[in-house]
Every structure is written in C-alpha cells, then in structure tokens.
Structure 1
C-alpha cells in the first residue's frame, strides 16, 4: 500500500505579528501535506485499520461520520484504491432527502454507499449491541469507529512525532474523536505537555482519551469558541484569511483555525504557562471550506480565501 509508506511531515515556523512581543516560537507540523485526500490524522488513523482489514480478508469497511467528515472522504478514497467496498453511516436521516454536499458527493464518486440514520440512533454507534447488529447484517465487513479512533488508529498517531520534535515544550492539536491526541500523549517525551483543543463544548472526550493513554501529562480545552462544531462567523473567517496571508498556511474552519485562535488568545492574555517552544499539529481538513463558503455566501458574508 504505497499510500501508507512511512512519512515524516515537516515543521514550518510561523511568525505572527500579534505574538512578536511574547517571545514564543511557534511551528506547525504540516500533516495536512501528507496527501491531498488522505491527509493529516486521517492518514495516521486509517493506516493500521486498513492493514488489518486486508490481513483479515474483509471485503468492505464500515465507518461513521457527519456530513462534512474528512474521515469518510479519506476512507472512501482508500477503498477505491484498495478495491474495498465502503459504507458510511451518516448522522442525520434528514440528509437522505437533500442534495449531497460536496464532501458526501466525493465519497459517493469514490464508491461509498450511505446509510443515513437519526441523530438518536447515531448516539448508539459505539455500543456493543449496535456494533453486533452491524456485524450480523454485514458479515464480512471491518468496522472502524467514528474518526478512526480505536487502538489501531491511536497506534498510527503515535508515529506523528519524531526525534527532532523533542525540542518543543508543548504540542497542541485539535480534538474530535480523541485518537490523534491519544497517540501524541503516548509518544511524547517525559518533559513535554500535550494540549488538545476540542471542536465540541463539554464533549466528555477526556473519558475516551483516558482509555488509550499511558500518562497524565495532557489537558483538553473544550470552551465553546465560535458557537461550537462547524460554526463559522465573520471573526473566524477574517482570522483564517489574515493567517493565510501571514503564513501561507490555510487552516481549516472546523478544527485547526479554532485551535490557533485560542492559543493566540491565551498567550496574549497571559494565560499560557506551557512553555515558549510550541508545536501545532495541522490535521488537515480544508475540503470542508467549499461547502462552508456556500453557506456564508447565502448569508451575504465574507468567505474564506483559498
């Protein structure tokens, strides 16, 4: 599987004028450049899951996600490359009656089939009884949890950091399903701190992370910035565009831009006791921008430049 060769992504230093007087060194690990579709943490979390599915001679893979899922898009693409059928169980049965957005359309173009379920049913996605019912219905399927977060996904994310990254005092990443931060926690050195910035308010994601990690040198912030998951406003769009102009890096509007915004806020307001040498993990996800720009245009709002 050539697309799962061992990869070390580069660290890019960014100089933000707003932080110049605070004497911090900020670098971005460009996981977003790994692959145009299987990028960032999607590459890491699917690597060993796909390997296991092929080893077990499964002929289809089932996973879960919302309408803008980068994870499902990456899975659909890998399925096409690997000659594996893919099924996406989508949160929101009302979407079945609507035109597919750009993310789901691309999933479909890569061969993914959809099962749209209610939001209440979706809450059962990790329950043993629910998973067993899928195994009965799809007897030769390999089931990957939402976001690719299981022990195999965490194992892949343990490969994000390399020896050179021991320079950093603190490593920061966005948090969705918890797999990426878990891998970082397990692979950091003893002097480093891992900080996660949740896309959801009061997500209880800490309970998930605790199941996978081997130390307590980590913290998750789940304050609600910009109204919650996939919420985008004028301030965030301007921040994304301004940062793009300053750094040449396009941060996605759901995860990475909100993380960076919060870090800048904390440093600027004397709420950053975590060290001067900072590494941000850019987990990718810019495919969501086109659909979000359509929503912004309908509201007559400024859009994200890319």
Structure 2
C-alpha cells in the first residue's frame, strides 16, 4: 500500500512539474491566440468599426465578401498565384542548395550560415525597403538594364505584369529554413543505398530520382505544408515594396485584410476575411494530408 501511495504521489509531482514547464506556452496560447481568435470569430458576425458598439448582423459580412467585393477576388487571385509559383521554386532551390552543401567543402559551416541569413532577415521591413530601392526607377536593376542598352521608362515594380514577380523573387530568396530542413534529412539517408546503386552502375540522375527523392518525401511533405501556410500569409513584402500596386497586381490577401481593418475601420468585415483565410489554409492542408498516402514514403511502413 505504501509503495502504491508513493508511486501515486510521485506521478502527481511529475505531472505538476510537466504542467509547470508547459505553463508559459499555455498562457501564451490562451492569451495571445485562443482568446483573440474567439473574439475575432465573434466580430466576424458583427458590424464593428472600432468606434461603435459591435452590432450582430449574422452572416452578412460573409455574404458581402462573396457577392459584392471585387477586391476580395483580386486579392485571392494574387495570393493563389503567389503561392502557386513561390512554393515549388523555393522548395526546388532549397533542395538544390542543400544537396550542394551536403558535400564536403572547405568552410562549409560558413556557407550554411550565409545561405540561412536571408531567411532570418528576409521578411523584415528594412530588407523590403532595400529590395524596393534595388528594383525601383533609380535602382541597380534599371541601371544595369540601361548599361546593356535596354531603356525602360517604367521599373519592374511599376509594371503590373512584372511587379508580382519581384515579390515572388524575394520570397524565393528566403529559402534558408527549408534548406536546413532538407540538409538535415539528406544526412539521414543511409549511404549504403548510394553504394549499392554505384555498384550497379547507376548514374547520379537515377540515384536522385530513385533514392534521394523517395527518401526525402516526408521532408518535402513537411516543408510543403509550412511554405503553403507562409505563402498565404504574405504581407510585409506587398505592403512595403508596392503597397499592393500597381493596379492591385500585388494586393495580397493579408494586405487587403489589413486595409479593411485599419484603413477603412471595417473590423467586423476584416475578421470575416481572416476566418475565410483560415478556412482556405485548412482546406489545402487537409488535401495535402489526404494525398500523402500516394506519394510520401515512410520507411517504417515498408513491407
């Protein structure tokens, strides 16, 4: 009996320590995410402009989004196009660099650090301002084009056909986090697989397709989820570099949501937009999770 009581007391103390260690995250989750999310959901069903008392109007905000708001459609198109182009390019480039850094080179640690730096500072206001100057009317890009005899009166950022490509290029430049994840996964692939392939006379392209890619599919799946979520949340680049212009060609969804909330003070409507974005991201996440059985290889499921 004494042993059972001591075990019970030990388990309770152990659980208390666990809850104590979890407390900072739990307080942050409840205070900084859960409560604001519930409040936002409530406001999405109200007419609220930050000055008046919220007035419940049911699904009117959601109906208005899908039936009256042309800017919503434009922001959705821009964001979908951004994600569709950015995610494959960023993942492909991250994997390419990771494979280069997976080989033995002098100063390899320095190279890894340098390649990761853009991901640390890439989404900052300061870098976005620098990026705007580089591709602006008097920037480096326009100067180089004129040196090679290509004279243009409008910069890449001022042209509706090319402005979004600059934003996408900046997004691809921030490939460091995905690269490190790929690099870690590459080191987990057993070298014996490559040795067997070399003995059989397999070429590098064959080993990449038949060994590297299948073994990396769980990591590709993980990176794909993260990058799609981050892609839909793009804001700083569109806001600082182009402010959604020209002609709303770079108007991202989150930037439009921000405008509705803090430019037009239509807080109830912006909350509805936010929850629509949550639903869109959730749908894409579920689809990718459902599809993993057909293309993601887990070594533990073999046989």
- Give the TM-score category using the shorter length: under 0.3
Greater helix fraction, Structure 1 or Structure 2: 2
Greater RCO structure (CA 8 Å; 6+ sep): 2
Whichever of the two has the greater Rg, that structure is 2
TM-score, length of structure 2 as denominator length: 0.27
Greater strand fraction, Structure 1 or Structure 2: 1
TM-score, length of structure 1 as denominator length: 0.26
